[in-house]
Amino acid sequence: MQTDPPFKWEHGDDEGEDEAFSPGVDGFRYRSYLSRGSELVVVQEIDGFAREHAILVVTATRVGVDPAGGAQEEYQCESATGDRRWFAPDQIDDWLVSNGKMRDLR
């Protein structure tokens, strides 16, 4: 009985930063794990909005498709002062990280 040879990993160049954060199957990058109530930690000060290490809470989301058929998503976050701002995925990459916690926004 002949068995299949073991899988051989191809060792090419290390994946680039862009490849590490590629969109999901549906094209959305954060929709599957950010929703209303998700907490995000500021990792780099956002001028005039939030200081480093501040906690923001996602209060709204909006998703859609651009004219070229690409996925569009934005997440509205609220600071401790009550200020709100919309963030696109590239801005989340630069300024925010999820801490895995949720808040009840009823």
Residue 19 has pLDDT above 60, yes or no: no
User: What does R_g of the chain's alpha carbons equal in angstroms?
Assistant: 18
Domains within the chain, CATH numbers bracketed: 17-102 (2.40.10)
Indicate the range of 5-19, 31-45, 69-83 predicted with least confidence: 5-19
Residue 9 has pLDDT above 90, yes or no: no
